[in-house]
Amino acid sequence: MRDASPAKTYALHIGVIALLFALNFVLPDYHQGLFARIMALAVFAMGYNLLFGYVGLLSLGHAMFFSAGLYGAGLTVYHLGWGVPEAFLAGVICGALLALVVGLLALRTSGVAFMIVTMMFAQVFYLLILYFAAWTGGDQGLVIQQASRVFSIGGASFDLTDPIVRYMSALSLFAIVLLVTLAVVRSRFGRVLVAIRENEERTKMLGYDTVANKLAAVVASGAICAASGAAYALLFGYVGSNFASIQYSILPLLWVLLGGAATTLGPLIGTLFMYYVTDITSGFTSAYLLIVGVALILLVLFAPKGIMGSIRQRWLGWLP
């Protein structure tokens, strides 16, 4: 990766945010709603990418962090009647705490063992959701009523069921996480993470505490994924156990691989691509997952670094 001037890099990212802002005014209704969902889930992918792309830790359990946020926010609204901002914070804190505990235990392993351990933790989390069905709604899930998704800040009222408010809320979260991620990967901490990915032993030899850095990355990744889950619950009004299933641990991996691991914009591109391939092809055939699979195989064959990764490799070496 060649270094670019910070101005150029930040201009690109702010340009992407501005483009998404402008799309709110030109997209047809359905696509406006779909983009809101994609931006919320792209945050999930960005959280995953921080750990997978920059530290090289492949987790198969990130659904638990997403659903920790989902349930942390959803259950506090549903059972305790909390407001939207407090519930969102509760979701993020749940995800960060869970990531801290899981990280402390799972980081004793690496490679395939790390994948298996994270997957097992996620499975435990999933089964706990089913076990405490009286509180969580089990496999059927819970609906967060429209009235509970309205909040006010400084006298202004925001209704998250309103398409524009929802779009702008998803965009705000996306923009914050994108810029924070960009700042992190350009920071000293980010460089250490990449160094760990490239050669952990050498990084250790240079005097860095690799375990502490990896743990910090797990917690940051978990908190970002939880922010995505909390936003999803509050923006779309549904909390369900399927978001904690293995499928939702695999999906962010696919989004990141497709968009480009270790690229800041890759998670958005991957999520967008997968969503639209599914949405368009499902209108023509019930075998749409086959088409998604073929698209993934073609990408692996011809663009193994993902869309943004290939662009960086071939044309724009300065992309973060």
Partner 1 sequence: MADKNGFFDLSKTTLSRRTALKGIAAGAGLALAPGFVRYSQAQSSAPIRIGFQSHRTGIGAAYGRWYEKTSAAAVKAINDAGGIAGRKVELVIEDDGTDPARGAEVVNKFAKQHKTDIVFGTLFSHVVIGSAPAAGENKIPYFVVSEGHHVASTKLNRYVFQPGITDVKSQIQSMAPWIAANAGKKVTQIFPDFAFGYDHRDYLPPALKAQGADVIAQIAIPPTESSFTKYFPQIPAETEVIYHVMVGPAVLTFVKELGEFYGSQRPQLFGFMDSLEATDINSPGLEFLDGSHFWEGSPRYAQPDDSAAQKAYRAAVGIDDNGAAVGDPKDVSTASHMFGCWETLYVVKKAMEDAGYKGPEDRAKLVEATEALKEFAEGPEHPQGPKTFNGKIHQCFGIQNISKVEGGKLKVVHKTKIEDGLYEPEGDYTTQAL
Which CB sits closer to partner 1, 29 or 201?
29
Cβ 231 to partner 1, closest distance in Å?
A: 14
Cβ 111 to partner 1, closest distance in Å?
A: 27
Look up residue 24 and give its two tokens. 């709110």
Which CB sits closer to partner 1, 93 or 128?
128
Cβ 223 to partner 1, closest distance in Å?
A: 22
Which CB sits closer to partner 1, 111 or 163?
163
Asked if residues 221 and 51 have their Cβ atoms less than 8 Å apart, the reply is yes
Q: Say how far apart CA 60 and CA 51 lie, in whole Å.
A: 11
Cβ 193 to partner 1, closest distance in Å?
A: 24
Which CB sits closer to partner 1, 16 or 100?
16
* DSSP at 209: -
Which CB sits closer to partner 1, 166 or 214?
166
Residue with tokens 């001037």: 5
Q: Say how far apart CA 31 and CA 9 lie, in whole Å.
A: 28
**Residue at 259: amino acid letter:** G
Q: Say how far apart CA 72 and CA 184 lie, in whole Å.
A: 25
Which CB sits closer to partner 1, 50 or 265?
265
Cβ 30 to partner 1, closest distance in Å?
A: 4
E runs forming strands in the chain: 142-143, 150-153, 156-159, 238-239
Q: Say how far apart CA 96 and CA 65 lie, in whole Å.
A: 8
Cβ 161 to partner 1, closest distance in Å?
A: 5
Q: Say how far apart CA 65 and CA 226 lie, in whole Å.
A: 5
Separation in Å, CA 314 to CA 9, 13, 301, 302, 310? 17, 20, 16, 12, 6
Site for partner 1, rule CB under 8 A: 12, 15-16, 18-19, 22, 26, 28-30, 33-34, 37, 130, 133, 137-146, 161, 236-238, 240-243, 265, 269, 279, 282-283, 286, 288-289, 298-299, 302-303, 307-308, 310-311, 315-316, 319
